[in-house]
A and B are shown apart, each in its own frame.
Chain A
Amino acid sequence: MRELELYFGPQHLGMVGNFSITLQVEGDRIVKATANPGFLHRGFEKLMEQRTWIQNFPLVCRINVVEPDHMELMYAMAVEKLAGIEVPERAQFIRSIYLELARVGSHLFGLWAYANMLGFDTVANWAMYHRDLILDLFEELTGGRVYHIYLWPGGVRRDFPEGFEERIRSTLHTIGSCVPDYDDTFFHNRLFYERAHGVGKLSREDACRMGAVGQVLRATGMKKDIRKTEPYAAYDQVDWEIPVRTDGDAYSRIWVVRDEMIESVHMIFKLLDKLPKGEAYQRIPNPFKWKIPESEVYVRCESSRGELGLYLVSDGGDKPCRAHFRTPSYSHGLTILEKALENESIADVGNIMISLYITAPEIDR
Protein backbone atom coordinates (compact mmCIF):
# COMPACT_ATOMS: atom_id res chain seq x y z
CA MET A 1 0.00 0.00 0.00
CA ARG A 2 1.34 3.39 -0.95
CA GLU A 3 0.92 6.25 1.42
CA LEU A 4 0.34 9.75 0.14
CA GLU A 5 2.13 12.78 1.40
CA LEU A 6 0.52 16.04 0.40
CA TYR A 7 1.92 19.48 1.03
CA PHE A 8 -0.47 22.25 1.92
CA GLY A 9 1.66 25.29 1.41
CA PRO A 10 3.82 27.28 1.25
CA GLN A 11 3.05 27.82 -2.43
CA HIS A 12 -0.63 27.09 -2.31
CA LEU A 13 -3.64 29.19 -3.11
CA GLY A 14 -5.39 28.14 0.07
CA MET A 15 -2.48 29.06 2.29
CA VAL A 16 -2.60 32.48 3.89
CA GLY A 17 0.91 33.37 4.91
CA ASN A 18 4.07 31.45 4.36
CA PHE A 19 3.45 28.25 6.21
CA SER A 20 3.39 24.62 5.32
CA ILE A 21 1.45 21.64 6.52
CA THR A 22 2.57 18.16 5.57
CA LEU A 23 -0.40 15.85 5.37
CA GLN A 24 -0.39 12.08 5.51
CA VAL A 25 -3.49 11.20 3.59
CA GLU A 26 -5.46 8.03 3.24
CA GLY A 27 -8.32 8.37 0.83
CA ASP A 28 -10.02 11.62 1.60
CA ARG A 29 -8.99 11.61 5.24
CA ILE A 30 -5.95 13.09 6.89
CA VAL A 31 -4.18 10.54 9.02
CA LYS A 32 -1.52 12.82 10.37
CA ALA A 33 -0.74 16.47 9.90
CA THR A 34 2.62 18.01 10.63
CA ALA A 35 3.03 21.75 10.76
CA ASN A 36 6.20 22.99 9.16
CA PRO A 37 6.89 26.60 10.18
CA GLY A 38 9.98 28.72 9.77
CA PHE A 39 9.55 30.16 6.31
CA LEU A 40 9.29 33.62 7.80
CA HIS A 41 11.88 33.30 10.53
CA ARG A 42 13.97 36.44 10.62
CA GLY A 43 15.25 36.24 14.18
CA PHE A 44 13.41 39.37 15.29
CA GLU A 45 14.19 38.90 18.92
CA LYS A 46 17.87 38.63 18.10
CA LEU A 47 17.70 41.73 15.93
CA MET A 48 15.96 43.62 18.72
CA GLU A 49 18.93 42.98 20.97
CA GLN A 50 21.05 44.99 18.55
CA ARG A 51 18.84 48.06 18.28
CA THR A 52 18.10 50.78 20.79
CA TRP A 53 14.81 50.99 22.63
CA ILE A 54 13.27 53.36 20.13
CA GLN A 55 14.83 51.82 17.04
CA ASN A 56 12.91 48.68 17.83
CA PHE A 57 9.53 50.25 17.06
CA PRO A 58 9.79 49.80 13.29
CA LEU A 59 10.87 46.24 13.91
CA VAL A 60 8.19 45.00 16.30
CA CYS A 61 5.28 46.01 14.11
CA ARG A 62 6.64 43.84 11.32
CA ILE A 63 6.32 40.70 13.39
CA ASN A 64 2.67 40.37 12.52
CA VAL A 65 1.75 41.88 9.23
CA VAL A 66 -1.98 41.33 9.56
CA GLU A 67 -2.25 43.27 12.78
CA PRO A 68 0.95 45.18 13.63
CA ASP A 69 -0.71 47.49 16.11
CA HIS A 70 -0.98 45.09 18.99
CA MET A 71 2.70 44.30 18.63
CA GLU A 72 3.46 48.01 18.95
CA LEU A 73 1.21 48.21 21.97
CA MET A 74 2.94 45.31 23.62
CA TYR A 75 6.36 46.80 23.16
CA ALA A 76 5.24 50.27 24.20
CA MET A 77 3.57 48.88 27.32
CA ALA A 78 6.61 46.83 28.25
CA VAL A 79 8.96 49.78 27.83
CA GLU A 80 6.59 51.99 29.84
CA LYS A 81 6.53 49.48 32.64
CA LEU A 82 10.29 49.04 32.63
CA ALA A 83 10.99 52.76 32.54
CA GLY A 84 8.04 53.73 34.71
CA ILE A 85 6.37 56.09 32.25
CA GLU A 86 2.79 57.17 32.85
CA VAL A 87 0.40 57.45 29.92
CA PRO A 88 -2.09 60.35 29.79
CA GLU A 89 -5.75 59.40 29.80
CA ARG A 90 -6.54 60.75 26.37
CA ALA A 91 -3.74 58.64 24.96
CA GLN A 92 -5.23 55.60 26.64
CA PHE A 93 -8.54 56.25 24.91
CA ILE A 94 -6.90 56.88 21.59
CA ARG A 95 -4.99 53.65 21.97
CA SER A 96 -8.18 51.74 22.60
CA ILE A 97 -9.95 53.25 19.63
CA TYR A 98 -6.95 52.63 17.45
CA LEU A 99 -6.58 49.04 18.60
CA GLU A 100 -10.25 48.29 18.11
CA LEU A 101 -10.07 49.70 14.59
CA ALA A 102 -7.11 47.43 14.01
CA ARG A 103 -9.09 44.52 15.38
CA VAL A 104 -11.95 45.18 12.99
CA GLY A 105 -9.48 45.45 10.12
CA SER A 106 -7.78 42.24 11.09
CA HIS A 107 -11.07 40.41 11.45
CA LEU A 108 -12.13 41.65 8.03
CA PHE A 109 -8.88 40.29 6.65
CA GLY A 110 -9.65 37.01 8.36
CA LEU A 111 -13.11 37.07 6.86
CA TRP A 112 -11.56 37.61 3.44
CA ALA A 113 -9.27 34.66 3.94
CA TYR A 114 -12.00 32.41 5.23
CA ALA A 115 -14.58 33.33 2.62
CA ASN A 116 -12.01 33.03 -0.11
CA MET A 117 -11.07 29.60 1.17
CA LEU A 118 -14.64 28.38 0.95
CA GLY A 119 -15.05 29.90 -2.48
CA PHE A 120 -17.22 32.79 -1.29
CA ASP A 121 -15.53 35.26 -3.61
CA THR A 122 -18.20 37.89 -3.32
CA VAL A 123 -18.04 38.18 0.44
CA ALA A 124 -14.27 38.02 0.31
CA ASN A 125 -14.15 40.98 -2.02
CA TRP A 126 -16.52 42.99 0.12
CA ALA A 127 -14.55 42.26 3.26
CA MET A 128 -11.32 43.35 1.65
CA TYR A 129 -12.97 46.53 0.45
CA HIS A 130 -14.21 47.38 3.92
CA ARG A 131 -10.81 46.65 5.40
CA ASP A 132 -9.39 49.15 2.94
CA LEU A 133 -11.73 51.79 4.31
CA ILE A 134 -10.22 51.23 7.74
CA LEU A 135 -6.73 51.32 6.30
CA ASP A 136 -7.61 54.72 4.84
CA LEU A 137 -8.30 55.95 8.36
CA PHE A 138 -4.95 54.62 9.49
CA GLU A 139 -3.27 56.23 6.56
CA GLU A 140 -4.70 59.60 7.49
CA LEU A 141 -3.79 59.15 11.12
CA THR A 142 -0.31 57.71 10.79
CA GLY A 143 0.80 58.00 7.19
CA GLY A 144 1.13 54.29 6.63
CA ARG A 145 -1.36 51.80 5.29
CA VAL A 146 -0.04 48.67 6.90
CA TYR A 147 2.76 49.53 9.29
CA HIS A 148 1.93 52.52 11.43
CA ILE A 149 4.44 52.89 14.30
CA TYR A 150 1.84 54.99 16.02
CA LEU A 151 1.90 53.81 19.59
CA TRP A 152 4.81 55.20 21.53
CA PRO A 153 6.10 54.93 25.06
CA GLY A 154 4.15 57.53 26.91
CA GLY A 155 1.20 57.74 24.60
CA VAL A 156 0.72 57.96 20.87
CA ARG A 157 2.81 59.60 18.22
CA ARG A 158 0.33 62.33 17.40
CA ASP A 159 -3.16 63.33 18.38
CA PHE A 160 -6.22 62.78 16.22
CA PRO A 161 -6.37 65.30 13.40
CA GLU A 162 -9.27 67.68 13.03
CA GLY A 163 -12.59 65.95 12.41
CA PHE A 164 -11.04 62.53 12.55
CA GLU A 165 -13.56 61.28 15.06
CA GLU A 166 -16.36 62.05 12.65
CA ARG A 167 -14.61 60.23 9.89
CA ILE A 168 -14.20 57.18 12.09
CA ARG A 169 -17.91 57.31 12.84
CA SER A 170 -18.94 57.62 9.23
CA THR A 171 -16.60 54.84 8.08
CA LEU A 172 -17.91 52.53 10.74
CA HIS A 173 -21.47 53.42 9.77
CA THR A 174 -20.66 52.51 6.20
CA ILE A 175 -19.30 49.16 7.27
CA GLY A 176 -22.07 48.60 9.77
CA SER A 177 -24.74 49.23 7.19
CA CYS A 178 -23.41 46.25 5.25
CA VAL A 179 -23.69 43.83 8.15
CA PRO A 180 -27.14 42.63 7.03
CA ASP A 181 -25.68 41.93 3.59
CA TYR A 182 -22.87 39.91 5.12
CA ASP A 183 -25.35 38.04 7.26
CA ASP A 184 -27.60 37.21 4.36
CA THR A 185 -24.92 36.09 1.97
CA PHE A 186 -22.47 34.53 4.34
CA PHE A 187 -23.23 34.04 7.99
CA HIS A 188 -26.75 32.78 7.54
CA ASN A 189 -25.88 30.89 4.39
CA ARG A 190 -26.84 27.26 4.66
CA LEU A 191 -23.71 26.20 2.84
CA PHE A 192 -21.47 28.03 5.26
CA TYR A 193 -23.16 26.05 7.99
CA GLU A 194 -22.70 22.81 6.07
CA ARG A 195 -19.05 23.44 5.38
CA ALA A 196 -18.08 24.70 8.81
CA HIS A 197 -20.34 22.95 11.25
CA GLY A 198 -18.60 20.17 13.17
CA VAL A 199 -15.37 20.75 11.32
CA GLY A 200 -12.15 21.02 13.32
CA LYS A 201 -14.00 20.46 16.55
CA LEU A 202 -12.18 21.07 19.82
CA SER A 203 -13.53 20.23 23.24
CA ARG A 204 -12.96 22.74 26.00
CA GLU A 205 -10.59 20.36 27.79
CA ASP A 206 -8.50 19.84 24.68
CA ALA A 207 -8.42 23.54 24.00
CA CYS A 208 -7.19 24.29 27.54
CA ARG A 209 -4.70 21.46 27.51
CA MET A 210 -3.10 22.69 24.32
CA GLY A 211 -2.98 26.33 25.23
CA ALA A 212 -5.77 27.78 23.13
CA VAL A 213 -6.52 31.46 23.54
CA GLY A 214 -8.68 34.04 21.85
CA GLN A 215 -11.70 33.06 19.83
CA VAL A 216 -10.54 29.45 19.62
CA LEU A 217 -11.07 29.32 23.36
CA ARG A 218 -14.16 31.50 23.35
CA ALA A 219 -15.74 29.26 20.72
CA THR A 220 -15.58 26.40 23.23
CA GLY A 221 -17.66 28.36 25.68
CA MET A 222 -14.96 29.85 27.90
CA LYS A 223 -15.39 33.52 28.66
CA LYS A 224 -11.82 34.70 28.74
CA ASP A 225 -10.50 37.95 27.41
CA ILE A 226 -7.41 39.79 28.65
CA ARG A 227 -9.20 43.06 28.05
CA LYS A 228 -11.53 42.07 30.90
CA THR A 229 -9.22 40.18 33.22
CA GLU A 230 -6.32 42.55 33.08
CA PRO A 231 -7.62 45.78 31.52
CA TYR A 232 -5.11 47.96 29.72
CA ALA A 233 -5.57 51.17 27.71
CA ALA A 234 -9.13 52.33 28.28
CA TYR A 235 -10.98 49.03 28.19
CA ASP A 236 -12.15 49.37 31.77
CA GLN A 237 -13.78 52.70 31.01
CA VAL A 238 -16.62 51.37 28.86
CA ASP A 239 -19.11 48.52 29.02
CA TRP A 240 -18.85 45.68 26.59
CA GLU A 241 -19.57 41.99 26.33
CA ILE A 242 -17.39 39.01 25.47
CA PRO A 243 -19.07 37.06 22.67
CA VAL A 244 -19.02 33.34 23.32
CA ARG A 245 -20.14 30.20 21.50
CA THR A 246 -20.14 26.67 22.79
CA ASP A 247 -19.57 24.23 19.93
CA GLY A 248 -15.85 24.64 19.47
CA ASP A 249 -15.93 24.04 15.71
CA ALA A 250 -15.04 26.26 12.77
CA TYR A 251 -18.58 27.53 12.58
CA SER A 252 -18.51 28.80 16.17
CA ARG A 253 -15.10 30.34 15.70
CA ILE A 254 -16.15 32.34 12.69
CA TRP A 255 -19.32 33.43 14.45
CA VAL A 256 -17.29 34.58 17.44
CA VAL A 257 -15.15 36.61 15.08
CA ARG A 258 -18.22 38.21 13.59
CA ASP A 259 -19.73 39.04 16.98
CA GLU A 260 -16.43 40.40 18.15
CA MET A 261 -16.25 42.68 15.16
CA ILE A 262 -19.67 44.10 15.92
CA GLU A 263 -18.83 44.43 19.59
CA SER A 264 -15.65 46.29 18.65
CA VAL A 265 -17.54 48.73 16.51
CA HIS A 266 -19.95 49.43 19.34
CA MET A 267 -17.02 49.84 21.68
CA ILE A 268 -15.39 52.38 19.40
CA PHE A 269 -18.56 54.47 19.41
CA LYS A 270 -18.68 54.36 23.20
CA LEU A 271 -15.02 55.27 23.48
CA LEU A 272 -15.42 58.14 21.06
CA ASP A 273 -18.29 59.46 23.13
CA LYS A 274 -16.18 59.39 26.28
CA LEU A 275 -12.95 60.62 24.71
CA PRO A 276 -11.41 63.06 27.20
CA LYS A 277 -9.52 66.23 26.33
CA GLY A 278 -5.87 66.65 27.14
CA GLU A 279 -2.41 65.68 26.08
CA ALA A 280 -1.97 62.65 23.87
CA TYR A 281 1.61 61.88 24.76
CA GLN A 282 4.21 62.36 27.40
CA ARG A 283 7.75 63.33 26.66
CA ILE A 284 10.33 60.59 26.85
CA PRO A 285 14.07 60.98 27.43
CA ASN A 286 16.44 61.52 24.51
CA PRO A 287 16.22 58.25 22.61
CA PHE A 288 19.92 58.21 21.78
CA LYS A 289 20.95 58.28 25.37
CA TRP A 290 18.01 56.43 26.84
CA LYS A 291 19.02 53.67 29.23
CA ILE A 292 16.58 51.58 31.20
CA PRO A 293 17.58 50.11 34.58
CA GLU A 294 18.01 46.37 34.91
CA SER A 295 14.61 44.73 35.25
CA GLU A 296 12.21 42.45 33.47
CA VAL A 297 8.54 42.47 32.68
CA TYR A 298 5.86 40.26 31.18
CA VAL A 299 2.97 42.16 29.64
CA ARG A 300 0.00 40.78 27.80
CA CYS A 301 -2.94 42.02 25.81
CA GLU A 302 -5.76 40.61 23.73
CA SER A 303 -4.90 40.81 20.07
CA SER A 304 -7.46 39.84 17.49
CA ARG A 305 -6.25 36.25 17.72
CA GLY A 306 -5.96 35.97 21.48
CA GLU A 307 -3.51 36.48 24.26
CA LEU A 308 -0.41 38.27 23.06
CA GLY A 309 2.45 38.57 25.51
CA LEU A 310 5.89 40.07 25.63
CA TYR A 311 8.61 39.03 27.99
CA LEU A 312 11.13 41.89 27.97
CA VAL A 313 14.38 41.91 29.88
CA SER A 314 16.65 44.91 30.30
CA ASP A 315 20.20 44.63 31.57
CA GLY A 316 20.54 48.34 32.21
CA GLY A 317 21.77 49.22 28.75
CA ASP A 318 20.40 51.19 25.85
CA LYS A 319 19.18 48.05 24.14
CA PRO A 320 16.91 45.26 25.30
CA CYS A 321 18.71 42.22 26.66
CA ARG A 322 16.04 39.78 25.60
CA ALA A 323 12.61 40.05 24.12
CA HIS A 324 10.32 37.12 23.61
CA PHE A 325 6.86 37.45 22.13
CA ARG A 326 4.23 35.00 23.22
CA THR A 327 2.01 34.94 20.16
CA PRO A 328 -1.43 33.37 20.02
CA SER A 329 -0.82 31.63 16.69
CA TYR A 330 2.11 29.75 18.17
CA SER A 331 0.06 27.22 20.09
CA HIS A 332 -2.76 27.36 17.57
CA GLY A 333 -0.55 26.68 14.62
CA LEU A 334 1.91 24.20 16.01
CA THR A 335 -0.14 22.21 18.50
CA ILE A 336 -3.85 22.68 18.01
CA LEU A 337 -3.76 22.64 14.23
CA GLU A 338 -2.09 19.23 14.15
CA LYS A 339 -4.74 17.87 16.47
CA ALA A 340 -7.68 19.54 14.77
CA LEU A 341 -6.71 18.33 11.31
CA GLU A 342 -6.61 14.69 12.27
CA ASN A 343 -9.25 12.62 10.55
CA GLU A 344 -10.66 15.58 8.64
CA SER A 345 -11.22 15.81 4.92
CA ILE A 346 -8.60 17.20 2.53
CA ALA A 347 -11.12 19.83 1.52
CA ASP A 348 -11.18 21.20 5.05
CA VAL A 349 -7.49 21.83 5.66
CA GLY A 350 -7.63 25.49 4.77
CA ASN A 351 -11.03 25.81 6.33
CA ILE A 352 -9.73 24.66 9.71
CA MET A 353 -6.46 26.50 9.41
CA ILE A 354 -8.08 29.83 8.75
CA SER A 355 -10.82 29.29 11.29
CA LEU A 356 -8.05 28.83 13.86
CA TYR A 357 -6.87 32.20 12.63
CA ILE A 358 -3.26 31.20 12.20
CA THR A 359 -0.90 33.89 11.04
CA ALA A 360 2.44 32.50 9.94
CA PRO A 361 4.75 35.47 10.71
CA GLU A 362 3.59 35.41 14.30
CA ILE A 363 4.75 31.85 14.67
CA ASP A 364 8.09 32.24 12.98
CA ARG A 365 9.02 35.72 14.16
Chain B
Amino acid sequence: MTKKSGKMDRNNIGKWFKSPGNMGQKYSLHALYFCTGCGIIEIPPTITTRWDAERFGVIPVATPRQANLFLITGYVSVKTLRYIIRSYEQMPEPKYTVGFGSCPINGGMYWDSYNTIKHLDKYIPVDGWIAGCMPRPEAVFVAVTHLWTLIDKGMATGYLKYREHYAKYRRNQEKILGELEWPPLFSKEEENEKSREKVAG
Protein backbone atom coordinates (compact mmCIF):
# COMPACT_ATOMS: atom_id res chain seq x y z
CA MET B 1 0.00 0.00 0.00
CA THR B 2 1.55 3.24 -1.08
CA LYS B 3 1.32 6.51 0.75
CA LYS B 4 -0.47 8.04 -2.18
CA SER B 5 -3.43 5.78 -1.67
CA GLY B 6 -4.74 7.99 1.12
CA LYS B 7 -5.16 11.02 -1.10
CA MET B 8 -8.68 12.13 -1.72
CA ASP B 9 -9.51 13.92 -4.96
CA ARG B 10 -13.24 14.19 -4.59
CA ASN B 11 -13.24 17.90 -5.29
CA ASN B 12 -11.04 17.66 -8.36
CA ILE B 13 -13.49 18.90 -10.98
CA GLY B 14 -11.18 18.16 -13.88
CA LYS B 15 -10.99 14.53 -12.97
CA TRP B 16 -14.74 14.34 -12.72
CA PHE B 17 -15.00 15.41 -16.34
CA LYS B 18 -12.18 13.15 -17.48
CA SER B 19 -13.44 9.91 -15.97
CA PRO B 20 -16.82 10.39 -14.34
CA GLY B 21 -17.36 6.64 -14.09
CA ASN B 22 -14.27 5.95 -12.06
CA MET B 23 -14.77 8.96 -9.85
CA GLY B 24 -18.37 8.02 -9.22
CA GLN B 25 -17.40 4.48 -8.32
CA LYS B 26 -14.71 5.74 -5.99
CA TYR B 27 -16.70 8.14 -3.92
CA SER B 28 -19.93 6.26 -3.80
CA LEU B 29 -19.05 2.81 -2.58
CA HIS B 30 -22.27 1.21 -1.49
CA ALA B 31 -21.43 -1.79 0.60
CA LEU B 32 -23.70 -4.79 0.61
CA TYR B 33 -24.86 -5.50 4.13
CA PHE B 34 -24.06 -9.15 4.65
CA CYS B 35 -22.80 -10.40 8.03
CA THR B 36 -20.82 -13.32 6.73
CA GLY B 37 -18.76 -13.72 9.90
CA CYS B 38 -17.63 -12.11 13.09
CA GLY B 39 -16.08 -9.20 11.20
CA ILE B 40 -19.50 -7.66 11.09
CA ILE B 41 -19.00 -6.54 14.68
CA GLU B 42 -16.67 -3.80 13.49
CA ILE B 43 -18.95 -2.60 10.70
CA PRO B 44 -21.48 -0.82 12.93
CA PRO B 45 -18.75 1.29 14.56
CA THR B 46 -17.39 2.02 11.10
CA ILE B 47 -20.67 3.38 9.81
CA THR B 48 -21.83 5.14 12.96
CA THR B 49 -20.79 8.12 15.01
CA ARG B 50 -17.22 7.24 15.88
CA TRP B 51 -15.81 6.58 12.43
CA ASP B 52 -18.66 7.61 10.13
CA ALA B 53 -17.86 5.94 6.84
CA GLU B 54 -20.56 7.98 5.14
CA ARG B 55 -18.02 10.81 4.98
CA PHE B 56 -16.39 8.89 2.16
CA GLY B 57 -19.64 7.84 0.56
CA VAL B 58 -19.53 4.35 2.02
CA ILE B 59 -22.96 3.30 3.21
CA PRO B 60 -24.56 -0.11 3.71
CA VAL B 61 -27.36 -0.97 1.32
CA ALA B 62 -30.05 -3.57 1.48
CA THR B 63 -29.87 -5.60 -1.69
CA PRO B 64 -27.06 -6.71 -4.01
CA ARG B 65 -28.63 -4.83 -6.92
CA GLN B 66 -27.89 -1.54 -5.21
CA ALA B 67 -24.38 -2.38 -4.08
CA ASN B 68 -21.00 -2.13 -5.71
CA LEU B 69 -18.79 -3.09 -2.78
CA PHE B 70 -18.91 -6.50 -1.19
CA LEU B 71 -17.23 -6.69 2.20
CA ILE B 72 -16.73 -10.33 3.12
CA THR B 73 -16.63 -9.80 6.86
CA GLY B 74 -14.86 -12.77 8.33
CA TYR B 75 -14.77 -16.50 7.86
CA VAL B 76 -16.94 -18.07 5.20
CA SER B 77 -18.65 -21.30 6.07
CA VAL B 78 -19.70 -23.64 3.31
CA LYS B 79 -23.34 -22.79 3.81
CA THR B 80 -22.65 -19.08 3.59
CA LEU B 81 -20.55 -19.49 0.45
CA ARG B 82 -23.63 -20.32 -1.58
CA TYR B 83 -25.30 -17.11 -0.49
CA ILE B 84 -22.15 -15.12 -1.08
CA ILE B 85 -21.86 -16.35 -4.64
CA ARG B 86 -25.53 -15.66 -5.26
CA SER B 87 -25.26 -12.15 -3.89
CA TYR B 88 -22.04 -11.45 -5.73
CA GLU B 89 -23.51 -12.53 -9.05
CA GLN B 90 -26.51 -10.29 -8.54
CA MET B 91 -24.46 -7.14 -8.04
CA PRO B 92 -24.28 -4.84 -11.06
CA GLU B 93 -20.87 -4.26 -12.64
CA PRO B 94 -18.40 -2.79 -11.87
CA LYS B 95 -18.24 -4.37 -8.44
CA TYR B 96 -15.47 -4.76 -5.90
CA THR B 97 -14.85 -7.36 -3.26
CA VAL B 98 -12.83 -6.84 -0.13
CA GLY B 99 -11.99 -9.69 2.19
CA PHE B 100 -12.17 -8.46 5.77
CA GLY B 101 -10.08 -10.30 8.37
CA SER B 102 -7.65 -13.16 8.14
CA CYS B 103 -10.16 -15.92 7.71
CA PRO B 104 -11.18 -15.36 4.08
CA ILE B 105 -7.49 -15.04 3.14
CA ASN B 106 -6.41 -18.50 4.15
CA GLY B 107 -8.78 -19.80 6.78
CA GLY B 108 -7.04 -17.98 9.61
CA MET B 109 -8.00 -19.35 12.97
CA TYR B 110 -10.14 -22.01 11.37
CA TRP B 111 -7.50 -23.46 9.12
CA ASP B 112 -8.45 -26.98 10.19
CA SER B 113 -12.19 -26.56 10.43
CA TYR B 114 -14.19 -28.91 8.29
CA ASN B 115 -16.91 -26.37 7.56
CA THR B 116 -15.14 -23.16 6.53
CA ILE B 117 -13.63 -22.59 3.14
CA LYS B 118 -10.01 -21.56 3.32
CA HIS B 119 -9.29 -19.36 0.34
CA LEU B 120 -12.14 -17.15 -0.69
CA ASP B 121 -10.48 -16.16 -3.96
CA LYS B 122 -10.85 -19.67 -5.26
CA TYR B 123 -14.58 -19.10 -5.51
CA ILE B 124 -15.04 -15.43 -6.24
CA PRO B 125 -12.47 -12.81 -7.22
CA VAL B 126 -11.29 -10.55 -4.43
CA ASP B 127 -9.90 -7.09 -5.08
CA GLY B 128 -8.37 -6.41 -1.72
CA TRP B 129 -7.68 -7.96 1.63
CA ILE B 130 -7.65 -6.57 5.14
CA ALA B 131 -5.55 -8.71 7.43
CA GLY B 132 -6.11 -9.02 11.14
CA CYS B 133 -8.42 -10.65 13.57
CA MET B 134 -10.24 -8.51 14.01
CA PRO B 135 -9.17 -5.56 11.85
CA ARG B 136 -9.94 -2.20 13.36
CA PRO B 137 -12.42 0.17 11.70
CA GLU B 138 -9.49 2.27 10.54
CA ALA B 139 -8.38 -0.72 8.50
CA VAL B 140 -11.64 -0.52 6.57
CA PHE B 141 -10.75 3.03 5.64
CA VAL B 142 -7.29 1.99 4.59
CA ALA B 143 -8.84 -0.68 2.42
CA VAL B 144 -11.24 1.84 0.94
CA THR B 145 -8.45 4.28 0.11
CA HIS B 146 -6.46 1.44 -1.35
CA LEU B 147 -9.46 0.49 -3.43
CA TRP B 148 -9.61 4.09 -4.66
CA THR B 149 -6.07 3.79 -5.91
CA LEU B 150 -6.85 0.52 -7.61
CA ILE B 151 -9.92 1.96 -9.28
CA ASP B 152 -7.90 4.97 -10.40
CA LYS B 153 -5.28 2.78 -11.96
CA GLY B 154 -7.86 0.47 -13.48
CA MET B 155 -6.65 -2.45 -11.44
CA ALA B 156 -9.76 -3.28 -9.48
CA THR B 157 -10.96 -5.62 -12.17
CA GLY B 158 -12.02 -8.66 -10.22
CA TYR B 159 -15.39 -8.62 -11.92
CA LEU B 160 -13.73 -8.83 -15.33
CA LYS B 161 -11.67 -11.72 -14.11
CA TYR B 162 -14.80 -13.42 -12.91
CA ARG B 163 -16.40 -12.92 -16.29
CA GLU B 164 -13.36 -14.23 -18.10
CA HIS B 165 -12.73 -17.29 -15.97
CA TYR B 166 -16.30 -17.93 -15.06
CA ALA B 167 -16.15 -21.60 -15.96
CA LYS B 168 -13.23 -22.21 -13.61
CA TYR B 169 -14.88 -20.38 -10.77
CA ARG B 170 -18.11 -22.19 -11.35
CA ARG B 171 -16.30 -25.52 -11.31
CA ASN B 172 -14.64 -24.67 -8.01
CA GLN B 173 -17.94 -23.59 -6.55
CA GLU B 174 -19.66 -26.76 -7.63
CA LYS B 175 -16.89 -28.89 -6.21
CA ILE B 176 -17.71 -27.58 -2.77
CA LEU B 177 -21.42 -26.94 -2.99
CA GLY B 178 -22.57 -29.60 -5.40
CA GLU B 179 -24.89 -28.67 -8.22
CA LEU B 180 -25.89 -25.00 -7.97
CA GLU B 181 -29.57 -24.16 -8.22
CA TRP B 182 -29.22 -21.30 -10.64
CA PRO B 183 -28.12 -21.38 -14.28
CA PRO B 184 -24.64 -20.08 -15.14
CA LEU B 185 -24.37 -16.32 -15.17
CA PHE B 186 -22.33 -16.13 -18.36
CA SER B 187 -23.37 -19.14 -20.34
CA LYS B 188 -21.51 -18.04 -23.45
CA GLU B 189 -18.16 -17.72 -21.70
CA GLU B 190 -18.56 -21.09 -20.15
CA GLU B 191 -19.20 -22.72 -23.50
CA ASN B 192 -16.15 -21.01 -24.93
CA GLU B 193 -14.07 -22.26 -22.08
CA LYS B 194 -15.34 -25.79 -22.51
CA SER B 195 -14.65 -25.81 -26.23
CA ARG B 196 -11.16 -24.42 -25.59
CA GLU B 197 -10.53 -27.20 -23.13
CA LYS B 198 -11.74 -29.77 -25.59
CA VAL B 199 -9.34 -28.49 -28.19
CA ALA B 200 -6.53 -28.51 -25.68
CA GLY B 201 -7.49 -31.92 -24.34
Contact = CB atoms under 8 A, between A and B. Distances in A.
A124 interface: yes
Contacts, number: 99
B104 interface: no
Interface of B: 32-38, 40-42, 44-45, 48-50, 60-64, 75, 77, 79-80, 83, 87, 109-110, 112-116, 133-134, 136
Contacts of B114: 43, 46
B109 A58 contact: yes
A191 to B, nearest CB: 21
Given A11-B87, A13-B60, A361 B34 contact: no
Nearest to A20: B83
A12 B83 CA distance: 11
Given A10-B35, A18-B35, A42-B113, A128 B44 contact: yes
A254 interface: no
B77 A124 contact: no
Given A38-B79, A128-B48, A132-B50, A43 B38 contact: no
5 contacts: A11-B83, A40-B77, A42-B75, A42-B77, A129-B49
Q: Which of A18, A39, A124, A147 has the most CB of B within 10 A?
A: A18
B48 A125 contact: yes
A361 B109 CA distance: 15
Interface in A299-354: none
Nearest to B110: A42
Interface residues of A, number: 38
A150 interface: no
A146 B42 contact: yes
Q: Which of A11, A58, A361 has the most CB of B within 10 A?
A: A11
By Cβ-Cβ distance, the 7 closest A-B pairs, closest first, are A65-B38, A129-B49, A128-B48, A13-B62, A11-B34, A132-B50, A125-B48
